[in-house]
Structure 1
Amino acid sequence: MSSPRALLIAEAANPEWFSVPLIGWSLSTAIAKETDAHIVTQIRNRDAFLRAGLREGVDFTAIDSEAVAKWLWKLTNLVRGGQGIGWTTETALASLTYPYFEWLVWKQFGPRIRAGEFDVVHRITPLTPTAPSSLARRCAKVGVPFMLGPLNGGVPWPTEFDRERRREKEWLSYVRAAYRLMPGISQTYRHAAKVLVGSRFTLGDLPAKHRGKYIYMPENGIDPQRFWQTVQPRADGPLRAAFVGRLVPYKGADMLLEAARELLRDGSLTIDIVGDGPMMDELRASVLEHGLGSAVTLHGWVPNEKVQDILCQCDILAFPSIREFGGGVVLEAMALGVVPVIVDYAGPGELVTPETGFKIPIGTRTEIVAGFRTVLSRLAGSRFEVHERSEKVRKHIQDEFVWAVKARRVVALYASLAKPRVSRADVRVTNPLEGAP
C-alpha cells in the first residue's frame, strides 16, 4: 500500500518567524518529507516558503484571505494594549478571521477532497483549541478523515501572579472558558477523527465525551540543523546559567536575579540573559544597584541562529517562567545538553523529568525565588548533578522531540485512519481466459 496523501492546513507557517508560525512550518514540512503531502498556508507566508525552496502549486498553496485578515490585524494592534502583550485578545480576534480562511480553502480544495485525492486532511494551525473548523464537518460528510492539532493554550494564570496577569493585559483570560459556547466548537470535535493535544491541561479542558479521539503530543520540536552543537561540561570556574526569553514579568528574569544575587556576588555563578522587552531597564538598574555587572550579561535581542552559541557556553538554563504553554526554549536548551531548572507548571513542567533537569514547585513569588536559590546553590557546589544529566537530556530530545520523529508518528496515524488504497503497482492484470479449461 502506498503512503497516505495528506492535505496539511497550516494558516500560520513561516520558517523566518517564531512561536506558532515556526511550529506550523516545522511540523508541516517534516510531515511532507515522510509522506505525499500538500501544504496550504496564508498568503503572508508565501515569500518565505519560496525562499526556503518550496514550489508554489506543487508543494504548497498560499490562500489570500487578506480582505478580512488585514483589517482584523489592524484592530488587534489597537485593542491588545501594546506590542507583545494581550495574547488572549490577539488569539480571540484571529479566530474571527480564520473561518474566512477555511472557507477559501474549501472553495479551492473541496472538489479535490470530495474526489478522494487526499486520504486525510490535517489542520495543524491554529494551535488554539478555541478556533472552530468548518472543514471537520465538510470532510466527515464526504468520508475523508480530518485531524486537528497539536492543540494547546489557555493554561490558567497561577493565582499568586494575578498582578503579572494584569500587567500583560490578559483581560480576556478571565472569561476564556466562554469559548465553549462559540458556534462550531462542539461540531468540530464531534466530526474530527483524531485530535493531537499538546499539553495535559488542554487534554483535560477538551470535551470529555470525545476522549477516545485525543492523542497527547507536545507541539514543540527540534530541528537538528538549527540546534546541532553540544555543550562541553566544565569541571572548574563558576556555574554558568542562561535565561532566554522576553523580558516581561511572568517570565521571571527578575526572580532569577533575586534568587542568584549572593552566588553572583561571590563568583560562584554567572548568568547570560538573552532577550529584550519592557523589563530591560529594570533589570539593568538591578544589576547596577547590587553590583552584579561582572557576573551578569544582558545580551538583548539575539538572532535565533546565534542563541545556541551562547547556550553552549552555559551549564544550565535557569527559567523561572510561571506560564508557558509549550516551553520551546526549554527543549532547545535540552537539545544542546544544557540542563534545565524550571518552574513545575504547564509546558516546561511536562517536558522536564527528575532525570533530565530540576523542577521548582509553583507557588508564590517568594517561594519560587527560594526554590531557585536552593537549587542554584546546590548545583554551584556540585557539578556532578549537572554533568550526569547533560547527556541524558540530549538523548531524550533526540529520541522523542526531533521533528522527523514526530512527523513519522503523525504519518502512522494517517495510515491508521486512511481507507485502504491500492496503487497501480499493486494491481495484477489477469487474463480472463487464464485457468479456463
Structure 2
Amino acid sequence: MTATSSHRPRVLAIAEAANPEWVSVPLVGWSMAQALRDVADVHLVTQVRNRDAILRAGLIEGRDFTAIDSEAVARPLWAVAEKLRMGEGKGWTTLQAFNALMYPWFEHLVWKRFGQQIKAGDFDIVHRITPLSPTISSPIARKIDRAGVPFIVGPLNGGVPWPKHFDAERRAEKEWLSYLRDAYKHLPGRDRALKHTSTIVVGSRHTQSEIPERYQDKTVYIPENGIDPTRFNRTARPTGDVLKACFVGRLVPYKGADMLIAAAADLLRSGRMTLDIIGDGPMLGQLVEQAASLECQTGLTFHKWIPHAEVQSILSQSHILSFPSIREFGGGVVLEAMALGVVPVIVDYAGPGELVTSETGFKVPCGNRDAIIAAFRETLTRLSDNPRSLAPLARNAKARVDDYFLWSRKAEQMREVYDWTLDMKRSEKPDIFRAKISPFAATMP
C-alpha cells in the first residue's frame, strides 16, 4: 500500500441516497460519507428527501451538505415503479430500472449547482458513492473528466445472478426484469461513463467481473457494507450447552428461512438447539405452519419485527447466525453478527461468501434446495455436539470486522484509493486484504 498523504483532499461526495434514519443503500451512503470526514474535507450532495434527517443528525446545510430537489422527475416515476413492483419488498430489478431513468436528472442538477466549482478546481475529487448499482451510469463523468478532476464511483455492487436451482424463488420475488438485466451492458452511456471515470470501486468480485477488461486496471475491491461500533457494541455471550442459533432477515423466499427450519427440525425436537427467527414478511404464516407440521415448535421463536436494539440483544445471546440466503449482494447482517462475535453459517455465494472465511465461520455450497438443507443439517448437528468450541471462531470473526469492516477502517481504505488516484496511479494499487491497515490517525501530522 501507498503511504497516505498528510494532505486532506477536498471531496464532493455525491450520494443521491444518504440517510442516517433509513436502512440498506441510504444508510450505506450516509455512513460512508460521514466516515470520510475523518480523512478528507467532504461536502455531501444528496437528494432533498434526505434533508430533514441530515439536519437532525447535526450537519449544517450549505456548509456540510447540499440537498438537490429532483422530485419533479423522481416523484412520478417512483409512483409508477411502486405499482409495477407488485408487492412490498419485491421487484428490486424493476425499481433499479426506474432509478436508471430518474438518476440522470439528479446528476444534471448536481452539475448545474457545482459545475463551475468543479471547473474552478474547488474539489480535488468528485466521488459518487450512491447509487450502488453498476447498472446506473453517471452522465456527468465526461464533464468532470474534461474539467481535469478525478471522478471516482463506488463501491458498486448488485446484480448477482439467481442460482439456477431457484427460479421459483426468483419468480416469487417478481424479478421478471432480472432475465433482461445484462442489457444494461450494451447501453451507450455505460462505456462512455466508465471511460471517463478515474477509479471504479467494486463492492464484490461479481461486480468486478462485469467491468470490461479494458477498464479492469481502474478497479479496486472494497466490500460495500461497514459496521458502526456505536450500533453494534455488545459481545456475544451465549450460555449453556445447547446450540443457540439466530436468523435475521425478511421472511421472503430467497432468504431461505424455510430451508433452515427443515435443516434444524430434528435438533429442535430433541432439544439440542434453539432457533430465534427475527423478521417479518409474506412467508411468516407458511413458516409457522411448516414448524407445526414438523413438530419442532419447541425451541423455535418467531419474533417478527422488533427494534434494532432488541435485535442486537437477541443476536448477542446466540452462538451462530444461521443464514441460508441464496442471493445477497452485500450481506450486511453477516457483518453485524461477526461484529458481535456470533459465528456465521451461510451459503457460499455472493456477498456472504466473500465476507466469511474458514477462520471466522462456515460456508455450505450453493446447490439445490435439498443439498443446502442437507449441508446445513450436517453443519448444525456437528456444532450442536460442542457449541463451546465455537469460541475461537467467534473471536476471529469479531477481529476481522475490527480490522477491515468498521466504517472508520473503510474510510481509511477509501483514502488509500484517493491517494492512489491523485498520484496518477504510479504507486501500487490498494489491496485492503493484503495487509492489515494501520490506524489512519498514526499517519496524521
**After TM superposition, is the score higher than 0.5?**
yes
In structure 1, what is the Cα distance between the partners aligned to 2:26 and 2:309?
17
Q: 2:205 aligns with which of 200, 204, 208?
A: 200
For 1:184, what is the secondary structure of its paired residue?
helix
Partner of 2:367: 363
In structure 1, what is the Cα distance between the partners aligned to 2:178 and 2:67?
32
Contact kept? 2:241, 2:388, Cα under 8 Å: no
Partner of 2:437: none
Please tell me whether residue 414 in structure 1 is matched to residue 418 in structure 2.
yes
Please tell me whether residue 398 in structure 1 is matched to residue 411 in structure 2.
no
Per-residue deviation, residues 235-262 of structure 1 (Å, max 9, x unmatched): x331000000000011000000000000
Q: 2:144 aligns with which of 135, 139, 147?
A: 139
In structure 2, what is the Cα distance between the partners aligned to 1:344 and 1:77?
32
Aligned-residue sequence identity (percent) comes to 56
For 2:72, what is the secondary structure of its paired residue?
helix
Of 406-415 and 64-73, deviating more is 406-415
Please tell me whether residue 16 in structure 1 is matched to residue 26 in structure 2.
no
Please tell me whether residue 45 in structure 1 is matched to residue 61 in structure 2.
no
Partner of 1:430: none
Question: Which amino acid counterpart does residue 106 of structure 2 have in structure 1?
Answer: F
For 1:53, what is the secondary structure of its paired residue?
coil
In structure 2, what is the Cα distance between the partners aligned to 1:99 and 1:35?
27
In structure 2, what is the Cα distance between the partners aligned to 1:341 and 1:154?
23
- How many residues end up aligned between the 2 structures? 419
Q: How does 1:102-141 map to 2 (within 5 A)?
A: 102-141=107-146
In structure 1, what is the Cα distance between the partners aligned to 2:71 and 2:422?
33
Please tell me whether residue 34 in structure 1 is matched to residue 39 in structure 2.
yes
In structure 1, what is the Cα distance between the partners aligned to 2:184 and 2:245?
40
TM-score, length of structure 1 as denominator length: 0.94
Per-residue deviation, residues 139-168 of structure 1 (Å, max 9, x unmatched): 100100000000011100000000100110
Per-residue deviation, residues 177-236 of structure 1 (Å, max 9, x unmatched): 1001223100111111101000111111111110100001100000000001000243x3
Partner of 1:318: 322
Partner of 1:348: 352
Please tell me whether residue 70 in structure 1 is matched to residue 58 in structure 2.
no
Unaligned stretches of 5+ residues in structure 2: 1-5, 425-445
Question: Which amino acid counterpart does residue 378 of structure 2 have in structure 1?
Answer: T
Deviation at 1:385, TM superposition (A): 3.6
Contact kept? 2:241, 2:387, Cα under 8 Å: no
Q: Which has the larger radius of gyration?
A: 1
Contact kept? 1:41, 1:60, Cα under 8 Å: yes
Deviation at 1:416, TM superposition (A): 3.1
Contact kept? 1:255, 1:320, Cα under 8 Å: yes
Deviation at 1:290, TM superposition (A): 2.7
Q: How does 1:264-413 map to 2 (within 5 A)?
A: 264-413=268-417
Q: 1:251 aligns with which of 250, 255, 263?
A: 255
In structure 1, what is the Cα distance between the partners aligned to 2:129 and 2:307?
26
Deviation at 1:46, TM superposition (A): 0.4
Partner of 2:428: none
Q: How does 1:156-171 map to 2 (within 5 A)?
A: 156-171=161-176
Q: 1:7 aligns with which of 2, 12, 19?
A: 12
Q: How does 1:227-246 map to 2 (within 5 A)?
A: 227-234=232-239, 236-246=240-250
Question: Which amino acid counterpart does residue 99 of structure 2 have in structure 1?
Answer: A
Partner of 1:186: 191
In structure 1, what is the Cα distance between the partners aligned to 2:193 and 2:310?
41
Unaligned stretches of 5+ residues in structure 1: 421-437
Contact kept? 1:320, 1:342, Cα under 8 Å: yes
In structure 1, what is the Cα distance between the partners aligned to 2:422 and 2:211?
24
In structure 2, what is the Cα distance between the partners aligned to 1:387 and 1:233?
10
For 1:31, what is the secondary structure of its paired residue?
helix
Question: Which amino acid counterpart does residue 18 of structure 1 have in structure 2?
Answer: V
Question: Which amino acid counterpart does residue 411 of structure 1 have in structure 2?
Answer: R
Deviation at 1:419, TM superposition (A): 7.2
Per-residue deviation, residues 313-372 of structure 1 (Å, max 9, x unmatched): 111000000000000000000000000000000000000001000000000000000000
Deviation at 1:384, TM superposition (A): 4.3
Contact kept? 1:227, 1:308, Cα under 8 Å: yes
CA RMSD of aligned residues (A): 1.2
Partner of 1:58: 63
In structure 2, what is the Cα distance between the partners aligned to 1:207 and 1:162?
27
Question: Which amino acid counterpart does residue 135 of structure 2 have in structure 1?
Answer: T
Per-residue deviation, residues 34-81 of structure 1 (Å, max 9, x unmatched): 210100000000011011111111111100000000001100011111
For 2:46, what is the secondary structure of its paired residue?
strand
In structure 2, what is the Cα distance between the partners aligned to 1:313 and 1:204?
38
In structure 2, what is the Cα distance between the partners aligned to 1:358 and 1:32?
35
Contact kept? 1:14, 1:24, Cα under 8 Å: yes
Please tell me whether residue 80 in structure 1 is matched to residue 85 in structure 2.
yes
In structure 2, what is the Cα distance between the partners aligned to 1:337 and 1:5?
37
In structure 2, what is the Cα distance between the partners aligned to 1:144 and 1:385?
53
Q: 2:217 aligns with which of 198, 212, 216?
A: 212
For 2:166, what is the secondary structure of its paired residue?
helix
Deviation at 1:305, TM superposition (A): 2.8
Question: Which amino acid counterpart does residue 286 of structure 1 have in structure 2?
Answer: Q
Question: Which amino acid counterpart does residue 328 of structure 1 have in structure 2?
Answer: G
In structure 2, what is the Cα distance between the partners aligned to 1:46 and 1:323?
32
Moved over 6 A (4+): none
Partner of 1:429: none
